[in-house]
Amino acid sequence: MREITLGHTPDADDAFMFYGIEAGKVKSPHFKIKHVIEDIETLNKHALNHELDVTAISAHAFAYLKDYTILRSGASFGFNYGPVVVSKKVLSLSQLKECTIAIPGKMTSANLLLNLVLGKFNEQEINFQLIPDAVLSDKVDAGLVIHETQITYYKSHLYKILDLGAWWHTETNGLPVPLGINVASIKSMTIEEIRRFNNLFKASILYGLKHTNAAVDYAMRYSRGQPKHVMTKFIKMYVNDITVDMGADGEKAIKKMFKMAQEKGILPLISQLNFA
């Protein structure tokens, strides 16, 4: 049995996807999994250094990687929703361009999307969990929030200034917005091993979707104090049919994001995107 290192985030949607494996309901005779749990920007950096066999990353981060292929299962896409820019006061888009904005990481997809909208702006990199407090304490003028804070920011009396998922939906005529993907190393794993792992991961996601209540209960360990109904809503936003298999729309959306970024001079030309 082959031991592989697997990176994923301490977030409820990732935990939900791995519930089938962790509960022992979905098994593989091929792999022994060593979990590495870190925030998404840390996982992006691990991937840059080629430290993990399989890992979740921001879709944006793939532009900087070599010798990885994109798994078809486990991706997070928004459907007319996504990361949100929030502030203590109502701001116009032109005012936002002059603000200092907290971002959850330079390689996050949220940051790339915001660059597509604003161009260059004054950014301050802050751990995603600390961004709302940074806005509330006036350390920054606005904050780019991801994960469940996308749907709970109003509880902190913050205003939504820009919904990047809605912006993307309009710009691309309804394509899903690519946020998180999973990649596997073609240096440390064979194509057959990568496909076997993708099938295992897919089976775990399907098990969670068929046993939603139990899978959400398991994922609540990463609820960060939010009630179950909030976490259930968040999980259902980002674990769905396109998570099981991104299909043609998922591939098209990732390619579209990179093309837009290349045309604006934000990213270098990417020779090819590999999908397992």
Catalytic residue selected from 147, 157, 211, 229: 147
Can you spell out the DSSP letters for 126-142?
--GGGHHHHHHTTSSSE
Asked if residue 46 belongs to a domain, the reply is yes
Mean pLDDT by 10 residues, the chain (276 residues): 93 95 92 93 94 97 94 97 96 96 96 96 94 96 93 91 97 97 96 96 97 97 94 95 97 96 89 80
Three-state SS at 163 = strand
CATH number for the domain spanning 140: value is 3.40.190.10
If you ran DSSP here, which 8-state letter would residue 266 be given? S
Range of the domain at 225: 2-77+177-263
The residue among 138, 171, 204 that closes a domain is 171
Give me the pLDDT at residue 269, please. Answer: 77
Output the pLDDT for position 1. 86
Residues 6+ apart with CB under 8 A from 103: 110, 111, 114, 123, 124, 125, 126, 144
181 and 148, same domain (yes or no): no
Catalytic residue flag (residue 147) = yes
- Asked if the structure places residue 270 within a domain, the reply is no
Number of domains in the chain: 2
Q: Are 114 and 189 part of one and the same domain? A: no
Which of 117, 151, 171 terminates a domain? The answer is: 171
Domain boundary among 127, 144, 171: 171
